Structure 1
Amino acid sequence: MKFHKSLIAMVGVLAVGASVAFAQSPAFFRIGTGGTAGTYYPIGGLIANAISGAEGKGVEGLVATAVASNGSVANINAIQGGSMESGFTQSDVAYWAHTGTGLYEGKGKVEDLRLIATLYPETIHVVARKDAGINSIADLKGKRVSIDEPGSGTIVDARIVLGAFGLTEDDIEAEHLKPGPAGDMLRDGALDAYFFVGGYPTGAVSELATSAGISLVPISGPEVDKLLEEYSFFSKDTVPAETYSGVAETPTISVAAQWVTSAKQSDDLVYNITKTMWDENTRKELDAGHAKGKMITLQNATTSLGIPLHPGAERFYKEVGALK
């Protein structure tokens, strides 16, 4: 069945502008995202649909797909290894990979990593059981806390946040779960809190807030001011009241979600993908498709430049005046 669907999709792409399409094979462009319960996956689906060349839209001859993954580090590794053409990552992880520092200390630099676009702020959520008595990061000491799986950007940031308050994994009962399973354990009383990094509102947290009741743990205070001085890729952020049912306004911090690729991808292909990413049709799909879609703007596309832009993307941004 999957074979037939793929064949139909390829035939559909070839039918668009036959004079060009029959001269070339479809180009496949995978976008590594994250777990299906997070924000990367639905946003990746919207972008893949928008840039795919079908029904007279997108990049002619392109078949783009969003692929679920373990997140930032896994996506960068897949791009480096050639099993993905592109992927989403946190800005901190992209910077560490490209410079061979932080999480990538001693692992070598991913020198070919290039930016297509900065997408939106990724908020650090510390989701707690309403009755867990957790009112600050310091209160996580001795609690059962999931900090996400190894290979995710979330686990890196969780360790940094804990460290800012003088805690390590040894000070908590650490679990290593994706947000979906972590939420299930929280609902069942088997977990006190979990870290999640992603754009708000995220469906899994919204559902948990409605069905079981949650609190968001604030990430604020002098410890955080010091953290922001040390790690420039973090910014102050606020989750507005009632973003999640019953949860008051909560101060926290965020990183930027970025769409990255390899310098090995052709300049023309990435130029056309970037151009399509910011056209009127894509804008409509992003605005209508996800609450975070409205925050993905051309004005923000060239911010948080911790790594070089891909030459194809850079060409487009200079053409439209988004970059000097």
Structure 2
Amino acid sequence: MTVSISRRAFAIGAAAAGFAMAGFSPSRAQQAFFRIGTGGTSGTYYPVGGLIANSISATGAAGVEGLVATAVSSNGSVANISAIQSGASESGFTQSDVAYWAQSGTGLYEGKPKVEDLRLIATLYPETIHLVARADAGIKTVADLKGKRVSLDEPGSGTIVDSRLVLAAYGLTEKDVEPEYLKPGPSGERLQDGALDAYFFVGGYPTGAIVELASTNNITLVPIFGPEADKLLSEQKFFSTDTVPANTYKNVGETKTISVAAQWVTSAKQPDDLVYKIVKSLYSDETQKTLQAGHAKGKLITLQNAVTSAGIPFHPGAEKFYKEVGALK
């Protein structure tokens, strides 16, 4: 059974859970509100963000006293960084490539002001580049996208950046396809209706929207593999090789592709003590059990992975914790 949760309902629910578990009342110590910008509700960021928000909002071994964290749906990496920069959000999830570009003023942020205050809380898990196609669309390689109806994701997402890089690696631009700019949910609906041939999605597998799509439709994952992908990997160091195992999605075989890292970032302006407590809560035994039981990617949110792919500086509060436990020198 699939349960649909609206953004508002989820945010309110996470906040309410925080209040209930902490036993908050007006007489209690001042509360700290900590929003986590995630992604679309049909992706991976949103449910993972919800698990983290509820866990760190609880008091006791796994929680931070006085903290109410909420997972907020958004347009993804770029939008989350913009919200942190403007003060509209305390933190957010982003792809490692987008975080690096923002902090260094390169790539997507070339010619724009650097987001110099952007700081890393933790690297979470690998984010796989999915190129989903209708099985009858005749798309066997990325090059076959030429002339096809392809969704690159919405402006402001990290996916659209990577989809352009992948197209370029195979000698294509947006002008060579019939581009659309939709999130995974609407993309899947249009693909199902025959109005779209393929779409890009960057996120941890298995992702709910693709699982649901594959359960009732014949789809394929297009490999991002071979000399073109090798050249892309050599030019863009934030990419890594990846493989989606067979039957991750119904009737879809093993698919070689590439990935980036999902990261949780914040602003250097956030208090060191608060971020320290949040990170300590994230890697507590209780939160780790919740993450492992709650989502396939939760098993990868480990202390060992936390300090990998760090293309931007750690927040001092996070760095203090990682050094205390020996994860960082």
Conserved? CA contact 2:61–2:286, under 8 Å: no
Show structure 2 runs of 5+ residues with no match: 1-7
Identify which of 60, 65, 69 aligns with 1:60: 65
Q: In the alignment, which residue of structure 1 is the partner of 2:56?
A: 51
Conserved? CA contact 2:133–2:220, under 8 Å: yes
Conserved? CA contact 2:205–2:244, under 8 Å: yes
Show structure 1 runs of 5+ residues with no match: none
Q: CA deviation at 1:54?
A: 4.3
Q: Does 1:243 align with 2:259?
A: no
What is the TM-score of this pair, normalised by structure 2?
Answer: 0.93
Identify which of 227, 233, 241 aligns with 1:228: 233
In structure 1, how many angstroms separate the alpha carbons of the residues matched to 2:15 and 2:218?
Answer: 46
In structure 2, how many angstroms separate the alpha carbons of the residues matched to 1:309 and 1:101?
Answer: 19
Tell which deviates more after alignment, 188-197 or 49-58.
49-58
Within-5 A mapping of 1:1-324: 12=20, 15=23, 22=27, 24-54=29-59, 57-324=62-329
Q: CA deviation at 1:10?
A: 7.3
Conserved? CA contact 1:12–1:54, under 8 Å: no
Conserved? CA contact 1:72–1:152, under 8 Å: yes
Q: CA deviation at 1:25?
A: 1.4
Conserved? CA contact 1:241–1:250, under 8 Å: yes
In structure 1, how many angstroms separate the alpha carbons of the residues matched to 2:95 and 2:127?
Answer: 8
Aligned partner of residue 255 in structure 1, secondary structure: strand
In structure 2, relative to structure 1, the CA distance for the partners of 1:272 and 1:192 (3 Å cut) is: same
Aligned partner of residue 292 in structure 1, secondary structure: helix
Amino acid paired to 1:63: V
In structure 2, relative to structure 1, the CA distance for the partners of 1:287 and 1:195 (3 Å cut) is: same
Q: CA deviation at 1:53?
A: 3.2
**CA deviation map 1:10-49 (0-9, x unaligned):** 7646647x9xx94631100000000000000000000001
In structure 2, relative to structure 1, the CA distance for the partners of 1:8 and 1:99 (3 Å cut) is: closer
In structure 2, relative to structure 1, the CA distance for the partners of 1:108 and 1:293 (3 Å cut) is: same
Query: Sequence identity of aligned pairs in percent?
Result: 72
What is the TM-score of this pair, normalised by structure 1?
Answer: 0.95
Conserved? CA contact 2:97–2:238, under 8 Å: yes
In structure 2, relative to structure 1, the CA distance for the partners of 1:42 and 1:235 (3 Å cut) is: same
In structure 2, how many angstroms separate the alpha carbons of the residues matched to 1:15 and 1:55?
Answer: 11
Conserved? CA contact 2:22–2:57, under 8 Å: no
Aligned length: 320
In structure 2, how many angstroms separate the alpha carbons of the residues matched to 1:6 and 1:274?
Answer: 18
In structure 2, relative to structure 1, the CA distance for the partners of 1:177 and 1:308 (3 Å cut) is: same
Q: CA deviation at 1:297?
A: 1.1
Q: CA deviation at 1:6?
A: 9.4
Amino acid paired to 1:139: D
Q: CA deviation at 1:257?
A: 0.1
